[in-house]
Amino acid sequence: MYNYIKGKIEEIGDEYIVVDNNGIGYKIMSSKHSIESIKDVTENKKIYTYLNVREDDLSLYGFLTKDELSIFKLLLTVSKIGPKVALAIVSTMVPNDIRYAINNEDINLLSTAPGVGKKTAKRMILELKDKIEDNNFTENNVLNKNKGPDYDEALSALLALGYTKVEVKEVFSKIDTKNLQTEDIIKKALKVIAK
């Protein structure tokens, strides 16, 4: 029904934003990534939306990018995944992380999202693997939100210790490596692995 709503951001909550469009405030549930990108924005913003209709509720979900909206809608096609779980998934991982995890059948990475256990992760892989093409993402930009200058060195060192690339990237998704030196990244990663 609504493709997008463009207006001034009037309010920002933990899981929603309010967009003023011609004097009407639209409460839009959104991902942490979109909300973080919107903070401190004063000009009008375009939010790509999805209207969820239930017999007792109408809710708007919206994102800054068409890609995030697209992966959100794709997740809704999985049986037993509703908008709240789909929103939790896109808040935990960026779209390329999700595509990467599904294509590589990485149950552990998918299970890092709140509300997603191993059964749900397996169902996501089963139902979405054929819908996600390999050319929709490149491994180089997967999980790059945490990359810092020493990221690649730490990755190589942990691979040399015998950990797999999938294991290391899962650990890196849980820590912020941006401002850390190689040695500190490795120490933090090993602490996460030891838990």
pTM tops 0.75, yes or no = no
Q: Domains plus CATH for the chain?
A: 4-63 (2.40.50.140), 67-138 (1.10.150.20), 143-194 (1.10.8)
Dist. CA 123–CA 162, nearest whole Å: 29
Tokens of 163: 């950990």
The whole-number pLDDT of residue 144 equals 47
Flag whether pLDDT at 143 surpasses 80: no
Hey, what are 59's tokens? 């809710």
Burial letters 22-43, b for 16+ CB under 10 A, else e:
eeeebebbbbebbbeebeeeee
Predicted confidence at residue 168, as pLDDT, reads: 78
What's the confidence (pLDDT) of residue 73?
Answer: 96
Q: Which of 170, 179, 118 has its CA nearest to residue 151?
A: 179
Cβ within 8 Å of residue 42, ≥6 positions away:
none
- pLDDT for the residue numbered 148: 57
Mean pLDDT of the chain: 85
Which pLDDT belongs to residue 18? 94
Q: What local confidence, expressed as pLDDT, does residue 141 receive?
A: 45
Where residue 140 falls among pLDDT bands split at 50, 70, 90? Answer: very low
pLDDT above 80: residue 85: yes
**pLDDT tens, residue by residue, 171-194:** 887 787 777 888 888 888 888 888
Is 165 a residue whose pLDDT tops 60? Answer: yes
Residue type, 121: A
Q: Which residue has the tokens 């919206």?
A: 62
How far, in Å, CA of 127 to CA of 131, rounded?
A: 8
Determine the pLDDT at residue 158.
81
